[in-house]
Structure 1
Amino acid sequence: MSDQPMLPIEAGTAPEPDIVVVPGRRLRARLVATFATAEPGDFRTVAAERLDLIHGGIAGDRHHGFTRHSGGREPWFPRGTEIANDRQLSILSLEDLAEIATRLDVPEVRPEWIGANLVVEGIARFSFLPKGTRLFFEDGAVVALAGQNAPCKIAGRAIAAEVPDRPDLELGFPKAAKRLRGVIGWVERPGPVFPGQAVSVHVPEQWIYPA
């Protein structure tokens, strides 16, 4: 896999000289693992040979639904406000998981420990893919990304439960995994996803708005 651009998308003309326009690009990745929660409400996920993505996410998964309730990540709403669900899927990369493990000085951080649904490989700095990036899976499913998934103590606690004699991981994980925790997304077009699929990653043109 390579993070070099293919079929580059032509950038638009910046309307003002102090606005930076970064051209869009298309990257290639591979889906290496799929997971879903065994029961609604479970934080951990379990491996699945295949997932059928539907509008709303994954049937039976803890994050399935067209709406969700706001929490600490949305301080602009009163907690518990019903909002559109852009957190239907948690998507991680093997590369970022390996870097988290290195920072924590543990042999591995398994994606199912921290509630992953999809795991890909082949994209450098995967967690930095911008909002609006789309993942096109070769059998038709399309997932739109809504931004980074902020690491939390709940995930750290799950990792600590798997690593003997390392209670420090509960609080250490949020710091070590900052900007490496993967991304969240929602299903734009339904379809099957399963390990081994090719993924075309469409990164949109980005405009850097000046202060």
Structure 2
Amino acid sequence: MKRAFAYLLLFLACAAAFARGGSSVILFETKKYVSFFDAPIAGKSALASDSEGRVRWQTLEPYVSAMIFDGSEAAAFEFEGGKWRRADMPASRAVAEVMAGLKGAISGGGVPEKVFGVSKTSGDSYALVPKDPAIARAVKSITVKFSAGSREPELVTVHDPSGDRTEMRVVKRAAGDFDISAAFDVSDPSAFDPKTFLEKK
């Protein structure tokens, strides 16, 4: 359940920060700082979201996995042996219920105060602190840093209660009125490839 809620928080932080009322696909370079490792674990991830509140979070490196919320159902997948397979997600119902309540944030309506406390930490940074105890056990806070003098987020940092953190820096983004419905197909996660999509933009 902790892993599912951690993914949920990544979805929310990114989608709420990057939503502009249309569709959005973002590529991140990630660094996971873990206390017992000397160097951060590097990776890549992608986020796709649309104005209907549907979200796809996909890890691209160092392994491949996806979590998809299609508006009513949340599902997790892993890519192994050249094939996608549905992964066990015991908290899928809870995740779906929370995500359904967050559609406004994901589609550009702001971060719900019932779910997060929001505060400005410095000039261009905001901190989101979860109010839900189950979510707070997985994530201590999320910091969103915007480019200087702009409303374009450039860095999202997820702080774990353990003191570990994950930094996600935006490297490419496409936003607009385009159809990415395939990204949210919980019956076929292979129907959308975020890297290929962004290469064409």
Could you say whether these structures have the same fold, taking a TM-score greater than 0.5 normalized by the shorter chain as the test?
no
In the superposition, the TM-score normalised over structure 1's length comes to 0.23
More helix, by proportion: 2
More strand, by proportion: 2
Q: RCO higher in 1 or 2 (8 Å CA, sep ≥ 6)?
A: 1
Name the larger-Rg structure: 1
In the superposition, the TM-score normalised over structure 2's length comes to 0.24
